[in-house]
Amino acid sequence: MTVQAKATPGARLLTPTDHTLIMIDFQSQMAFATKSIDASLLRTNAALVAGAAAGFGASTILTTVAEKSFSGPMFPEVTAPFPGKTLLDRTSMNSWEDEAVIAEVNAIGKSRIVLAGLWTSVCIVGPALSALEQGFEVFVITDACGDVSDEAHERAVTRMVQAGAQPITALQYLLEMQRDWARGETYDLTTGLAKTFGGAYGLGIIYAKSMFGASEGH
């Protein structure tokens, strides 16, 4: 049988409108014990994810655990792209057991859930496995997560993947929503975030534009 290729995107790719991003417990107390990723890189990747979601208009939930009494405020680079947005504070380690979070998930009504936060083996595994069991499709931005050790992070990612979650990265999340450099309405947003938070790739964009006036859309 001959298979015909078509110039259309696969249905498994993320789009800005087909998912809910849940950013979980990007808080000081959680970060202090995070060893699987450098704190500065974690903050950079979290900022990239938050900026991408806000810029593309993706449905987003920001949730904290014991913000006032123990864990401290959410990273400012996560909240800054969402001025005035209410943070859903919880007592449960598994945000999928919190009624306010679930009410927001249901109000948004998307069947795809994208997760990022601290720690991978607790506050990300909990909602990932719970959402999968209830029929949601789950993506985990693994480099915008962290844990108390490399072992804890890697075992958590393996456990989620074995259960059906799909691992992606922060930069992948941004570029998957852009997907075509000819999409002029979000071109400056995407390249701007990449230049600021995209590491060596961002430096490459700065160099190409400064030296040659280059543009990916041409």
Same domain membership, residue 210 and residue 153 = no
Same domain membership, residue 194 and residue 174 = no
What does the pLDDT look like over 33-85, one tens digit per residue?
999 999 999 999 999 999 999 999 999 999 999 888 888 999 999 999 999 99
Same domain membership, residue 145 and residue 70 = yes
Residues 99-131, buried b or exposed e (16+ Cβ, 10 A)? eebeebbeeeebebbbbbbbbbbbbbbbbbbbb
The whole-angstrom separation of Cα 113 and Cα 138 is: 5
Domain that holds residue 215: 183-218
pLDDT at site 80: 98
For the chain, what's the residue count? 218
11 lies in some domain: no
Taking only Cα atoms into account, the Rg of the chain, rounded to an integer number of angstroms, comes to 18
Active site residues: 123
Same domain membership, residue 150 and residue 47 = yes
Q: Residue 165 has which token pair?
A: 């979650």
pLDDT at site 25: 97
65 lies in some domain: yes
What does the pLDDT look like over 119-175, one tens digit per residue?
999 999 999 999 999 999 999 999 999 999 999 999 999 999 999 999 999 999 999
Number of domains in the chain: 2
